[in-house]
Structure formats: C-alpha cells, structure tokens
C-alpha cells in the first residue's frame, strides 16, 4: 500500500491502479491538494483494506487491472453493503463501459488523459454532495409523510422504503425507491433528466461531461429500475421515455 501522509484537510481517498507511476503521481497530487491518500496496486489489496472499516471518503478505481478488475472490486464492495462513492479511472472511452460502471453504482467515470484539475473538480463535487446527504433534515412542520401509498398496482412503503408491484417486492435501492416514488406521485407528468438527477445526487450537483453526463447517469438508473420491475413482472411498461427531456410514469 502506498500511503502519503499529510493533514487530511479535505478528506481521505483510496486510489487503486496497477500502473505504479500513475498511482504515485495521482496520489501525490491529491496529497498536495489537501487529501490524505492511500494507494493500492491491485484490487485484492484494496478490497482487504476497504472491507475493514476504512478511512476512505471516496475511491478512485482503475477499470482495467489484472486479477480482480475494477468492476469486480465495486461489485464485491456493494455486495458487502460498502457504499463508498467510486470514480472509475480508465483509458476506455466507449459509452458501454461508462454505462456498466454507472449501473453498478459508480458516481462518475473519468478518463486518465484528462487533466488533474478536472479529476480534482469531480472529487470536490462528489464529496460536497455526500456531505449534504449526511446532514440531518430539518424537523418537519408540515403534514407527515404517509407510511404507505397506493398507485394502482404499485405500493410504496415509506416507513421501510420498500416498493411492491402487484404484491411482490421490487428490490430497489434507496435511491431507486426515491426515483420511482417521485415519478409515481406525479403520474402522466414528464419529469426531466435534471429533476431525476437531483434526486440521485442532490440539487446542483454535476458529474460527467456536462448535460450529456447527467443524462447518461439518469438513463443508467432508469434502465436498472426497469430491469428490477421486469424481474417481478416481465410485462411492466409504466416508465416511458420522453426523448430529449426525461421520463414519465404512465398512469394506468
């Protein structure tokens, strides 16, 4: 493990890459920018550290590594309910790889050829969004959220954040539940990519390449949600796309 000790004014980062020169360069630049960094030359060492109550606010993860690949590292972490934000580092530019990473739970995808300032800005935005998520909400003074809501064949259990379709549980994550609930509460209304993206990351957050970056992110979430509903009901078709704008939950 490559550990660069400086005062962690801005957070703790884990960097995983089999390219020793790239690993040392990025780790040093991040340390100079105010982060404490721990570098790992392969997925196995990173998993051993990250599975043991790590001091890591975010992981920079190489996509293509010998042995355990980056996507496999992420899959194992998510299987253990370790939800540290992940940015993939790659030399691949094909959109299929980006979609696979986002579907698996990554929050961003940065090519290694980009300047360090771009990577740093992405890290700053993601960590800022994570801090907002962790803030305690203001005590509600309006009417309370119902424990359960029924939208035709869809049941939303707000107390447990569970969705049921025709009585069967749909295995949604908390973020996916939030997206489904928002659209189902507004049936027939076209919901923009931006609105859905704000549910995922918080208002004002931006990852990826501008507008197309967050559209790709939203499309990946919707694809995964549709897949989970179709595992329960192969004929599920209530989430409709409005090309160039967003999605809507079609009222039955």
* Sequence spans of domains, the chain: 2-134, 148-249
- What's the CATH code, domain 148-249? 1.10.10.10
- Provide the pLDDT for residue 250: 85
In whole angstroms, give the CA distance from residue 111 to residue 228: 30
Task: Give me the CATH code for the 2-134 domain, please.
Answer: 3.40.50.2300
Q: What is the pLDDT of residue 207?
A: 47
Residue ranges of the chain whose pLDDT lies below 50: 94, 136, 138-143, 203-210
Return the pLDDT at 195.
Answer: 86
pLDDT attached to residue 139: 45
pLDDT of amino acid 206 = 47
76-105: pLDDT as tens digits: 888 888 888 888 888 765 455 655 666 556
Predicted TM-score of the model (pTM): 0.55
Q: What is the pLDDT of residue 183?
A: 92
Give per-residue pLDDT as tens, 143-156. Answer: 455 578 888 899 99
């Amino acid at each position: 493990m490559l550990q660069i000790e400086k005062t962690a004014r801005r957070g703790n980062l884990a960097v995983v890459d089999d390219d020793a020169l790239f690993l040392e360069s990025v780790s040093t630049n991040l340390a100079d920018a105010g982060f404490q960094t721990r570098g790992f030359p392969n997925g196995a060492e990173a998993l051993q550290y990250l599975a043991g109550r790590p001091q890591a606010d975010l992981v920079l993860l190489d996509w293509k590594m010998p042995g355990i690949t980056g996507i496999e590292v992420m899959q194992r972490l998510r299987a253990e309910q370790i939800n540290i934000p992940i940015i993939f580092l790659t030399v691949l530019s094909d959109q299929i790889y980006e979609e696979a990473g986002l579907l698996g739970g990554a929050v961003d995808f940065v090519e290694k050829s980009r300047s360090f300032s771009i990577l740093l800005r992405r890290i700053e935005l993601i960590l800022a969004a994570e801090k907002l998520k962790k803030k305690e909400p203001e005590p509600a003074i309006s009417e309370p959220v119902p424990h359960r809501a029924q939208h035709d064949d869809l049941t939303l259990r707000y107390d447990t954040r569970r969705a049921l379709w025709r009585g069967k549980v749909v295995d949604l994550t908390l973020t996916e539940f939030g997206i489904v609930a928002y659209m189902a509460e507004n049936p027939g209304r076209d919901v923009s990519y931006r609105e859905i993206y704000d549910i995922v990351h918080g208002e004002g957050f931006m990852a990826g390449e501008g507008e197309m970056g967050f559209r790709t992110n939203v499309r990946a979430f919707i694809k995964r949600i549709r897949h989970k509903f179709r595992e329960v009901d192969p004929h599920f078709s209530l989430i409709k796309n409005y090309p160039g704008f967003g999605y809507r939950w079609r009222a039955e």
